[in-house]
Amino acid sequence: MSLATIEPRSTLTCPACGVRTTETMPTDACQYFYDCPACSVVLKPKPGDCCVYCSYGDVPCPPIQEARASGEAAACCGRGGHG
């Protein structure tokens, strides 16, 4: 639950071209889209994932990290369901 346990950055890997880009994740909103800086493909969450970081990042989004750290059910950005 402590912010000290939350990793704020995640490295996204583009499934189209393989380029890896490290980004700082938003803590107050889900990021549903991400434009690959190399090939311009727009990344979108995979079915069942809440955001691009949970689908293509090496670290899941902050709400998922918090839920895992506290042993609670994971619910991205405080919302359930699809975005």
Distance CA 57, CA 32 (A): 13
Residues contacting residue 33 through CB under 8 Å, at least 6 positions apart: 42, 43, 44, 52
CA dihedral sign, ordered 70, 71, 76, 77 = negative
Evaluate whether residue 26 is within a structural domain: yes
Structural domain harbouring 25: 3-74
Task: Output the pTM of the full model.
Answer: 0.82
Distances (CA, A) of 12 to 42, 53, 58: 12, 7, 7
Confidence category of residue 68, pLDDT binned at 50, 70, 90: confident
Domain tally for the chain? 1
Share above pLDDT 90 across residues of the chain, in percent, rounded to a whole number: 60
- Distance between CA atoms of 41 and 10, rounded to whole angstroms? 18
pLDDT of residue 77: 59
In a domain, 21, yes or no: yes
* Residue 79 maps to a domain: no
